[in-house]
Amino acid sequence: MTLPHANLTELERKLLNDFQHDFPLTPTPYADMAKQLGVSEAEVLAALAHLKAAGAVSRVGAVVRPNTIGASTLAAMSVPAGDLERVAALVNGYPEVNHNYEREHALNLWFVAAAPDGARLQHVLDEIAERSGYEVLSFPLVEDYHIDLGFDLRWR
């Protein structure tokens, strides 16, 4: 189900735009967001659930500097076009995988994986390779750069 921006409620628009930064880091973040927005916590949770079901939000959570908590890597695979959908679904089935995407390159399936430790991360990568039948290349972080992924969403 797709959700054109014209069909977003005012609450959904504020949730998508206003909390990309300064998400409340408290024991009750959704209640705090609700108070800030003048609605109930139940309304915030329902709106986020609707956005997730519509595919407008994949997850709500903190972004932590790579390898400060656990282990992570950028991984890539070379998958024939006819098998790409199957392998992407397999990769997405791992809770350790944050997201994956296709690129126009010999290495055409890329994903970020994170795990509690290096051993678990390697196990996941090895298992994906074994189950998919394709090699998984790991590109661990060598030097980090701060990239602000927040975008000021402008509604028409």
Report if pTM > 0.75.
no
Amino acid 1: pLDDT: 41
Amino acid 87: pLDDT: 97
Amino acid 61: pLDDT: 73
Amino acid 147: pLDDT: 62
Instruction: Give the length of the chain.
Output: 156
Angle between helices 29-37 and 10-18 (to 10 degrees): 120
20-51 as b/e: b if 16+ CB within 10 A: eeeeeeeeeebbbbbeebebeeebbeebbebb
Q: What is the mean pLDDT of each run of 10 residues along the chain (156 residues)?
A: 65 89 89 96 95 82 72 95 96 90 94 94 98 96 68 62
Amino acid 99: pLDDT: 79
Amino acid 4: pLDDT: 52
Provide the residue ranges of all domains of the chain, joining segments of one domain with +. Answer: 5-53, 71-139
- As beta bridge partners, residue 110 has 76, 101
CATH architecture for the domain at 71-139: 2-Layer Sandwich (3.30)
Q: Which residues contact 108 (CB under 8 A, 6 or more apart)?
A: 77, 78, 79, 81, 84, 102
